[in-house]
Amino acid sequence: MNARDIRGTRRVATVAAVDNSLYAAAPKIYPQSVHGTFRRIKWALLVVTLGIYYFLPFLRFDRGPNEPDQAVLVDLAHRRFYFFFIEIWPQEVYYFTGLLILAALILFLMNAVAGRVWCGYLCPQTVWTDLFRAVERLIEGDRRERIHNDALPLTAERLARKALKHFVWLMIAWWTGGAWVLYFADAPTLVRELATFQAPAIAYISIGILTFTTYALAGHMREQVCIYMCPWPRIQAALTDENALNVTYRYDRGEPRTSLKKAEVLRATGGRAGDCVDCGQCAAVCPMGVDIRRGAGLDCIQCGLCIDACDTVMNKIGRPPRLIAYDTDVNIKRRLAGLGNVYRLLRTRTVLYTVLIAVIGAIMLTSLATRNNLGVAVMHDRNPLYLQLADGSIRNAYMVRILNHTTATSSYVLKVKPFTPANVTAIGTGKSKDGWPKVEIGPDQTYELRVLVTLPASASSVASRDITFQIINKTSSQIATARDHFLTR
Amino acid sequence: MSQDPHSTIDEASGTSTTGHEWDGIKELNTPLPLWWLYTFYACIAFSVLYWIAYPAWPLIGGYTHGLLGWNSRTAVVGDLKNLQTLRGPMNAKIAKASLKTIENTPELLAFARAEGAAAFAQNCAPCHGAGAQGSYGYPNLNANRWIWGGTLDEIHTTIEHGARWTADPDTHMMMMPAFGHDGILKPEQISEVADYVRTLSGNKPSPGADLAKGAKLFADNCSACHGPNGKGNIQIGAPNLTTKVWLYGPTKADIMHRVEVGGGGTMPAWHGRLDEPTIKALTVFVHSLGGGQ
Ligand code: SF4
Ligand code: SF4
């Protein structure tokens, strides 16, 4: 293969078609329907992922009287994120950082093992476009019929079909936007409000925007999103290697291509003929308008549909399947050299990604499992750092933030070690029996306490000493601590 | 876009070139999608509409105001109004409650401290410092020595009417005489009284100081305001001289200078500039810094 062949067909085709312009209209792609293993996998994933997306907000999860009972809820107003039994507070956003890092690493790992499986099977753009295409096929017919009809002048019947198609698309797009906003409020309530026009304006605006973007991206822009807008093809090109399984035309087996008849004659006379009969099915089914036989290109999302198409052909002409297959560059070279296939799953990069994923996952799980539902954070006053009072004693002030993660109002006592209650006061609190500051904090709330610690003038002999704040939940006896310093000069 | 007359076909790739050439390197014509071009046109159209709709062009005597009449100043005014409405219910509660009640109700205290902190940062921090820590001539509001009194009501009065703020008839007016400048005390007398004043707050007397003379001078000239023991008088803003907290510094030179020039700091009256709930919130905030009495 020379460099020119390796570039995708699309580019070559466009250049040839409108060679005199700096700008070119995108060629319309009419992918043909196809049946087979990969198509079935894609349908299954489509049903599962969209099913989760559309119905998850309606799933209930009982968290007790003071908490929302929606299983997955982003409560922006109260700054809480609920995911089943997990409740994330704003100061715990590092869990999201962790999730994002995990997601990136999983994407890397997927890519090292099997190329762009994400793009071909799970990317929302792919999934929704697939759904929109299915609708189009159902209403306007398959590839041949659409090409044929589009070349003819518009009739009333076809206009009606097109209108119906756009209507169904808009309905799907509208439901997509609608499902999105349900993640941000109690779903059944919001549905009722939306229906009676009582919902907040932002809900309607969000639905409007998402309806439009879904309709435009999945209905009209389709493969152009992957080719022109998405950065991932460029990134993944740098992440893949010759051992990754990519959708590949096995040219060692397919070339030289001939027609079926010629191949038979050639084989009968002892000549060499490839398995590819040049039927063009692989290119006809491709949703990206790619001819995979030209080699790997950035515009192939590796959905595997061409594999299904070619397998059907191979089946019909009685040749073994998988002329197009998930294969590696290494194996093609090896077969050409007369060697057997090797699949090296254990490579530095796959091992490294797996280890990193395991480590980060483990850290996140441990931190989630050992999470305290009582929290304390202390901030020393920076201005002034310390203060001399009228009688010469030294005082330090702290902002102590207590977090009550529980669903009940609890009473908390603050102890400051190694000081006595006489040294410690807190603004606007009561006192416990032994004289320490005591506060009540409502369910699922934080409380900010200004704490003043005072030592007599003689304390100035030590510039800085360690100080520990201890918050004790009187009901559960749970304790949270935070350390800081007491400064005297 | 029509083809450039210099366009040629590149031999290696078979693609036409755009006709642009630099140092023998030709640019291949790899067409961009057409919608890209339309997006570009749409951006140009948008920018023109934006010029017309929003303030954009600087002119000699001002600027174009834009058809929408939008400007950032009215936007800020609107935002502030919104903020006021948002805080309205709590501010109404603050306005009704007594200062003591505010301090004893956790909900009101939290709100007052937050609102007070914001008002302090905007209005008071330039003099008293971002942490209310004060500086030379500006009292430290965290400490427990007060010139005009440190109870809730006294702090409220001071914020409302200021100190030595002549525009407000109810302001704190008293001032220390300039003993040196006005020739009431001779330089050596000032030195003697300063020696004595330093010992009031527990400092060791300077070697050779005649404390008896200083005490006599203090009783004759200073005790009328600062009290016979130097404990001060918040009614007339005469500071307590027996504490470790100093407004103008604790050295003998500091004290001598103050006796020489007299006077005292000025604070504006905030009544009329800040509304009552804000002044109350400020009062509670300052009181809860920890030095309040
Ligand atoms: S070439 Fe094959 S795998 Fe690639 S996008 Fe087209 S159909 Fe999918
Ligand atoms: S579908 Fe298979 S046989 Fe037909 S052109 Fe493609 S590779 Fe060749």
Mean pLDDT of chain A: 88
Confidence band for A338, pLDDT divided at 50, 70 and 90: confident
For residue A332, the CA-to-ligand 2 centroid distance in Å is 17
C-alpha angle A425-B150-B87 in degrees, rounded to nearest 5: 80
Q: What is the pLDDT of residues B134-171, one digit of tens each?
A: 989 999 999 989 999 999 999 999 999 999 999 999 99
Residues of A in contact with B29 (CB under 8 A): 15, 19, 22
Q: What is the pLDDT of residue A17?
A: 42
CB B116 within 8 A of CB B285: yes
Q: What is the pLDDT of residue A11?
A: 43
Tell me the average pLDDT across B84-95. Answer: 91
CA distance A114 to chain B (A): 30
Three-state DSSP state, A104: helix
Q: What is the pLDDT of residue A19?
A: 52
**Contacts with A190 (C-beta within 8 Å, 6 or more apart), sequence order:** A181, A182, A199, A203
Decide if pLDDT at B3 tops 60: no
C-alpha angle B182-B186-B192 in degrees, rounded to nearest 5: 125
Confidence band for A267, pLDDT divided at 50, 70 and 90: confident
Say if the Cβ atoms of A390 and B103 lie within 8 Å.
no
Confidence band for B24, pLDDT divided at 50, 70 and 90: confident
What is the Cα Rg of chain B in Å?
34
Residues with CB under 6 A from ligand 1: A 247, 285-286, 288, 290, 292, 300-306
Could you give the CA distance from residue A164 to residue A135 in angstroms, rounded to a whole number? 10
Q: What is the pLDDT of residue A172?
A: 96
Residue A248: CA count within 13 A, CB half-sphere: 19
Give the closest of B18, B133, B140 to A22, CB-based. Answer: B18
Residue whose tokens read 């305290």: A372
Say if the Cβ atoms of B288 and A428 lie within 8 Å.
yes
Tell me the average pLDDT across A159-170. Answer: 95
Q: In Å, what is the CA distance from B43 to each residue of B31, B40, B47, B57, B107?
A: 20, 5, 6, 19, 50
Give the closest of B29, B109, B130 to A22, CB-based. Answer: B29
Could you tell me the pTM of the whole model?
A: 0.73
Residue whose tokens read 């500091």: B254
Q: What is the pLDDT of residues B254-290, one digit of tens each?
A: 999 999 998 888 999 999 999 999 999 999 999 999 8
Could you give the CA distance from residue A309 to residue A285 in angstroms, rounded to a whole number? 7
DSSP A256: S
Nearest to B188 by CA among B210, B172, B206, B171: B210
Q: What is the pLDDT of residue A35?
A: 94
Confidence band for A312, pLDDT divided at 50, 70 and 90: very high
DSSP A279-330: --HHHHH-TT---GGG---TT-----HHHHHHHHHHHHHT--S-SEEEE-HH
**Which CB contacts under 8 angstroms, 24+ apart, belong to A120-126?**
A120/A42, A120/A247, A120/A301, A120/A302, A120/A303, A120/A304, A121/A41, A121/A42, A121/A45, A121/A303, A122/A45, A122/A49, A123/A301, A125/A217, A125/A218, A125/A225, A125/A226, A125/A230, A126/A226, A126/A301, A126/A303
Tell me the average pLDDT across B197-203. Answer: 88
Q: What is the pLDDT of residue B4?
A: 63
Tell me the β-bridge partners of A219: none
**Contacts with A298 (C-beta within 8 Å, 6 or more apart), sequence order:** A8, A227, A233, A234, A237
Confidence band for B11, pLDDT divided at 50, 70 and 90: confident
**Which residue on chain A is closest to B1 by alpha carbon?**
A21
pLDDT over 90 for what percent of chain A?
52
Q: What is the pLDDT of residue A4?
A: 38
**Contacts with B209 (C-beta within 8 Å, 6 or more apart), sequence order:** B192, B195, B196
Give contacts of B 99-158 with A, CB under 8 A. Answer: 103-104, 106, 109-110, 113, 129-131, 133, 140, 142-145
What is the Cα Rg of chain A in Å?
32
Sign of CA dihedral B213, B216, B221, B223: positive
Confidence band for A65, pLDDT divided at 50, 70 and 90: confident
Confidence band for B27, pLDDT divided at 50, 70 and 90: confident
Identify the burial level of A402 via C-beta atoms within 10 angstroms of its C-beta, where 0-12 means exposed, 13-18 middle and 19 or more buried: buried
Three-state DSSP state, A466: strand
Q: What is the pLDDT of residues A14-61, one digit of tens each?
A: 444 445 677 888 888 999 999 999 999 999 999 999 999 999 999 999
Q: In Å, what is the CA distance from B9 to each residue of A16, A22, B19?
A: 12, 14, 10
CA A54 to chain centre: 16
CB A387 within 8 A of CB A396: yes
Decide if pLDDT at A259 tops 60: yes
DSSP B79-104: HHHHHHHHHHHHHHHHHHS-HHHHHH
**Contacts with A7 (C-beta within 8 Å, 6 or more apart), sequence order:** A294, A297
Peptide bond into A421 cis (omega under 30): no
Strand A387-388 and strand A437-441: pairing?
unpaired
Identify the burial level of A173 via C-beta atoms within 10 angstroms of its C-beta, where 0-12 means exposed, 13-18 middle and 19 or more buried: buried
What is the largest distance, in Å, between two alpha-carbon atoms of chain A? 114
Give contacts of B 235-254 with A, CB under 8 A. Answer: 240, 243-245
Tell me the β-bridge partners of B59: B62
B39 has a chain A CB within 8 A of its CB: no
Decide if pLDDT at A9 tops 60: no
Mean pLDDT of chain B: 89
Decide if pLDDT at A10 tops 50: no
**Contacts with B132 (C-beta within 8 Å, 6 or more apart), sequence order:** B120, B124, B125, B140, B141, B142, B286, B289
Within A86-230, residue ranges assigned H as helices are 94-114, 117, 124-140, 143-151, 156-182, 187-195, 201-214, 223-224
Could you give the CA distance from residue A357 to residue A102 in angstroms, rounded to a whole number? 6
Mutating to test ligand 1, I would choose from A35, A281, A300 the residue with most ligand atoms within 8 A of its C-beta, which is A300
A222 has a chain B CB within 8 A of its CB: no
User: What tokens does A76 get?
Assistant: 């922006």
User: What tokens does A427 get?
Assistant: 């603004």
Decide if pLDDT at B229 tops 60: yes
Nearest to A235 by CA among A302, A328, A298: A298
Confidence band for B204, pLDDT divided at 50, 70 and 90: confident
User: What tokens does B11 get?
Assistant: 């031999």
Confidence band for A314, pLDDT divided at 50, 70 and 90: very high
**Contacts with A50 (C-beta within 8 Å, 6 or more apart), sequence order:** A127, A131
Confidence band for A215, pLDDT divided at 50, 70 and 90: very high
Q: What is the pLDDT of residue A14?
A: 42
DSSP B103-128: HH-HHHHHHHHHHHHHHIIIIIHHHH
Tell me the β-bridge partners of A484: A467
Mutating to test ligand 2, I would choose from A262, A281, A311, A327 the residue with most ligand atoms within 8 A of its C-beta, which is A281
Q: What is the pLDDT of residues A67-120, one digit of tens each?
A: 888 999 999 888 889 998 888 888 888 889 999 999 999 999 999 988 888 999
Q: What is the pLDDT of residue A470?
A: 92
Confidence band for B1, pLDDT divided at 50, 70 and 90: very low
Confidence band for A12, pLDDT divided at 50, 70 and 90: very low
In what helix (H) or strand (E) does residue B221 lie, and over which residues does it extend?
helix B211-221
User: What tokens does B185 get?
Assistant: 């005390």
CB B104 within 8 A of CB B87: no
Tell me the average pLDDT across A337-366. Answer: 92
Other Cβ atoms less than 10 A from the Cβ of B16: the count is 21
